[in-house]
Amino acid sequence: MTASLEVSGLAFAYPDGHQALFGVDLTVARGERVALLGPNGAGKTTLVLHLNGILTGGAGTVAVAGLPVNKQNLAEIRRRVGIVFQDPDDQLFMPTVREDVAFGPAASGLRGAELEARVRTALEKVGMADFAERPPHHLSFGQRRRVAVATVLAMEPEIVVLDEPSSNLDPASRRELADILRSLDVTVLMVTHDLPYALELCPRSVILSEGVIAADGRTQDLLADEAVMRAHRLELPFGFDPRAVSVPF
C-alpha cells in the first residue's frame, strides 16, 4: 500500500539564509497517528508547510499518497492534506458553522445535495451537527476547534495535520477532541508540545530537532528515554511517568 506521506531528503532555507531543515526523511503509513515533537525552532512548522505546498523550492521531495507535492498537483494536494490551525479563529470566517464547513468543498465545485451531505457528515464526525446554523463566534473555544476539524474533514483528506490541538482546551474538551481523533479513518500528524496527549493518541512519535529527525519510535519508549528527552529539550509535566500509563496500542 502506498504511504500517506513520504518525505525524502527535505532541506529548506528561508530567504534570509536561515536553514530550517537539513535533510528530513519521514514515511507515514495510511491510517497511522504520529506525533511530531521537538523544541521551538526545530523546524516543525517549516516541515508542515511543505506538506501542502505552502513552502517549496528546497532540496528533496514530498509525496502525499504517491502524488508529488509540486505546482502541477497543488490543488489536489491541498485537498488531500488538511491543516487544523492552533487558533480556530484563523480558520473560521463565515456567518454560520454550516457555511464555514461548506466553504472548501464548494470552492472545489461541490453543489446541492452532495455538498449538504458532505457538510452534515463532517459535522456529525465532530459532534457538532446540532450547531450548523450557529455563528462560530458564539461557540466555546473547544466547539470552535471541533468545527475547524470539520472544515478539514469536509474535504475528505488523506492526512489531517493538527497544530497543538490540545492548547487552550479545558479537560472535558480535551477528552472530547481525543475521542474524535481516535474515531477518524484518516492519517493523523499531530504537532504538539503536550507530551501526555501525544502518548494518549499517537502510537508513534518522531522528534524533529535542529532540522533533522533525531528520533523515531514508539511514543511511550521515546518519552521514557531521559537522555533523548534531555538532548532535545523535551520535558514531561512534573510527576508524569510515561511508563506508568497504560496505552491501548
The tens place of each residue's pLDDT in the chain, 249 residues long, gives: 789 999 999 999 999 989 999 999 999 999 999 999 999 889 999 999 999 989 987 899 999 999 999 999 999 999 999 999 999 999 999 999 999 999 999 998 999 999 999 999 999 999 999 999 999 999 999 999 999 999 999 999 999 999 999 999 999 999 999 999 999 999 999 999 999 999 999 999 999 999 999 999 999 999 999 999 999 999 999 999 999 988 878
Are 76 and 50 within 8 A, CB to CB? no
Tell me which H or E stretch contains 52: none
List Cβ<8 Å contacts ≥24 apart for 59-62: 59/9, 59/10, 59/11, 59/12, 59/23, 60/7, 60/8, 60/9, 60/10, 60/11, 60/23, 60/24, 61/6, 61/7, 61/8, 61/9, 61/10, 62/5, 62/6, 62/7, 62/8, 62/10
Q: If we measure between CA atoms, which residue out of 165, 192, 189, 191 comes closest to residue 179?
A: 165
- Reading the block at residue 245, the C-alpha cell is 500509563
Residue-level pLDDT at 204: 97
Are 165 and 84 within 8 A, CB to CB? yes
In this structure, which amino acid lies at residue 243? R
Are 59 and 84 within 8 A, CB to CB? no
Backbone angles phi, psi at 35, to 5 degrees: -95, 135
Beta strand 159-163 with 81-84 is: parallel
Rounded to two decimals, what is the model's pTM?
A: 0.93
- State how far the Cα of 249 lies from the Cα of 236, in Å rounded to an integer: 20
Q: What is the pLDDT of residues 134-187, one digit of tens each?
A: 999 999 999 999 999 999 999 999 999 999 999 999 999 999 999 999 999 999
Q: Which fold has domain 5-244?
A: Rossmann fold (3.40.50)
Q: Give the three-state DSSP class for 113.
A: helix
Q: Give the number of other CB atoms < 10 A from CB of residue 137.
A: 9
Q: Burial, 109: exposed, middle or buried (Cβ in 10 Å; 0-12, 13-18, 19+)?
A: exposed
- Domains of the chain, by residue range, sit at 5-244
